[in-house]
Amino acid sequence: MKKITFTLLFICLILLTSCSLVKREEIGMQAFAYTKLKYIVIPSSVTKIDSSAFMEVVSDFVIYTNFNSRPSTWGEALTSNIKVYYEGEWEYNENGNPTEK
């Protein structure tokens, strides 16, 4: 069941430009690789991110998270070409989209 759910989620994400994760603890191998997502909101419940999770994302891809800083368990997933906004650096705008403060 988990594999089917993940596959459906992955197929849906390819078509989206944004994503919010709810109650997920881990972002697995190539979970968002090669997608056209513009941004993702990662809650503090995500304690581990595989190093290939965001491989080959679009050049202006942004991560918004509720963490104060990058957790050590996030591996090397957040390369220098991915902009990350931590808690206090971003907020939701009037349309419900995350934006830099």
Q: Domain coordinates of the chain in residue numbers?
A: 2-100
Spatial distance between the Cα atoms of 30 and 51, rounded to a whole number of angstroms: 8
3-state secondary structure 24-37: CCEECCCCCCCCCC
Whose structure tokens read 């998270």? 65
Most distant CA atoms of the chain, gap in Å: 39
In this prediction, residue 86 has a pLDDT band, given cuts at 50, 70 and 90, of: very high
pLDDT at residue 51 in the model: 83
Confidence of residue 30 (pLDDT cuts 50, 70, 90): confident
> Mean pLDDT score of the chain, rounded to an integer?
76
Global model pTM greater than 0.85: no
pLDDT at 80: 65
Candidates 87, 27, 35; CA nearest to 60 is 35
In the predicted model, what is the mean pLDDT of residues 87-91? 95
Torsion of CA 2, 5, 11, 57, to 10 degrees: -50
Token digits for 20?
A: 């919010």
